Amino acid sequence: MKVLMLHGFVANYNEVPPGDSSVNLDQLASSGADYVFTGHYHKRCEPRRLNGSGWVATPGSTEIYDFAEEPEKGFYLVDTEGPKWTWVPIEPLHIMQQAKVGSQRDMDPKWYESEAIKMLRGFIDELHSLRKQGYIRIKLEGTLKEGWPTDVSEDRIREAARDPLLLWVDVDTLELNLPPSVARPMAENTDVAEYFRDFGSFAEDIREIHGHVREALEEEASTKTGLLTATQREQFITDWIHRFEAKTFKEAKA
């Protein structure tokens, strides 16, 4: 019996992220393996018969590694007579939860902070009832009455609800809008360089980097999170640092 274990995506079997490499089902069939077991893809896929002979199966990860993942985890047992496939569920060791704090009315940063703390304390109670450790991402949505998203302190939220079962808290303020009175670049045709004109010629670099980032987000962003991968972001970070370090600003000259 031939068994092939592969760490990689399988096209038309796994949901392959745009731009990621993969093999296809015909390539797996041509390997001559009786059973192909694949990893890297964290979701469970039902076993599939390959063209000609052999089977492919992706059991998915045995732990929850991402906030977007489904909680069901497990592995396959295979009786080669048939074959007969049996799914065996297993209980993940930790909890990963996403929660939202939002309001239809404009609220100040302290309100969002207070509601996030309430949400966090409720999550801690859940961890104690399940006797598990956990991670939580609290997403803030709405419009601020005053102040800035950075006025919502992730440190204060963490300090208000410390617990040994709480492994990590992530506070997402990307959907927290500035007060209506605050001008900000929103329109598609907004020239971001205007907002950084005090930086002199460096405003042109900002405009260029901003354009590249927007193009990358439109073409390559994750369909689940709307974000770029760490590898994709790294090239923009490197470019930014290189340009910034190459500039000499007025204050530095003085």
Q: Tell me the β-bridge partners of 74.
A: 89
Burial of 53 (0-12, 13-18, 19+ CB in 10 A): exposed
* 246 pLDDT higher than 90: no
Determine which of 117-126, 169-178, 183-192 has the lowest per-residue pLDDT on average: 183-192
pLDDT tens for each residue of 52-96: 789 999 999 998 888 878 778 999 999 999 899 999 999 989 999
Phi, psi of 102 (to 5 degrees): -145, 165
pLDDT tens for each residue of 138-174: 999 999 999 889 899 989 999 988 999 999 999 999 8
Q: What is the rounded radius of gyration, in angstroms, for the C-alpha atoms of the chain?
A: 24
* 253 pLDDT higher than 80: no
* 189 pLDDT higher than 70: no
Closest CA to 58 of 20, 28, 93, 17: 28
* 185 pLDDT higher than 60: no
Determine which helix (DSSP H) or strand (DSSP E) holds 174, and give its type and residue range. Answer: strand 166-177
Which tokens hold the place of 254?
């003085």
Residues present in the chain in total: 254
Measure the CA dihedral 172/177/183/188, to 10°: 80
pTM of the model as a whole: 0.61
